[in-house]
Amino acid sequence: MVERFFFTRQTNLQLPDEPGPIILLSGPPSSGKTSLLFQLALNSAVKNNGGAVVILCKRRRLETNPPFLSQGVDPSSQIFQNIQMKYVNDAEGIKNYFAAFHLHNTFPASVIIDDFADFFDERSCQEKYNNARGRDMAMIRVLALCRNAIEHANRRGPCELVLSDTHKGDFPRLLYIYKRWVSCIYTIIKSKFQVGVISNYYYLFVKRLRSAKYSIALQYLVLEGIIE
């Protein structure tokens, strides 16, 4: 399953389906999460014969830290036309998008939200709900709305929601919230060893059964290998 985050030259490769419609990609800061999500978007568009993919993100964040393409990806490829960037500033933007989701004539193959928790300002949420755990409450309500929308879309065809989250420890800091809504979690850990001039090697794994070793080198996302 980790292969879906990377570019492959095998044109007949069949990427496996996920065990559920909502997945989470969690990793430390500056570990290439946005680049991995962007490659997943490309793979999803290809797998679904040019189906649309929507990425919800903050414009300033994307312009400041643009994703790196995988080596071998043609930046002029027509497949990029199937990826729609939708810029939102806060949780209200996400709510508005999914509140009208059922009105779509066709649904995207994938909806991707980069750094989901970053859309929820802690102080604003506490004031809105008059509760110290207002941020948690706001995230739960939006996740419930997202899941209802994605489940509605799946009655007509495959549609997945992919979230990313930033954590500073070994596990997603908001795991107690995500685990109720997410069917599969991909976790990134940083290698402690430097090899040559590359100091940032990462491992992406799912259920600790299969992992991918990758690096960010010379402004490229590079898959170093798959580990069984």
Domains of the chain: 2-227 (3.40.50.300)
Q: pLDDT band for position 12 (50/70/90)? A: very low
Residue 24: its H or E element: strand 22-27
Strand 210-217, strand 201-206: pairing: antiparallel
- Bridge partner residues of 172 (DSSP): none
Asked if residues 22 and 10 have their Cβ atoms less than 8 Å apart, the reply is: no
Reduce the DSSP state of residue 95 to 3 states and report it.
helix
DSSP 219: T
- What average pLDDT score do residues 17-33 get? 84
- pLDDT tens digits, residue range 46-75? 888 878 999 999 999 999 989 999 888 988
Is residue 1 classed as helix, strand or coil in its secondary structure? coil
Q: Distance (Å, rounded) from C-alpha 150 to C-alpha 98? A: 9
pTM (2 d.p.): 0.90
Pairing of β 184-190 and β 201-206 = antiparallel
More confident residue, 209 or 227: 227
pLDDT at 1 over 90: no
* DSSP state at residue 209: T
Q: What is the pLDDT of residue 168?
A: 73
The pLDDT score that the predictor gives to residue 196 is 44
Q: From edge to edge, which strands make up the β-sheet containing 201-206?
A: 83-87, 53-57, 110-113, 160-166, 22-27, 184-190, 201-206, 210-217, 220-227
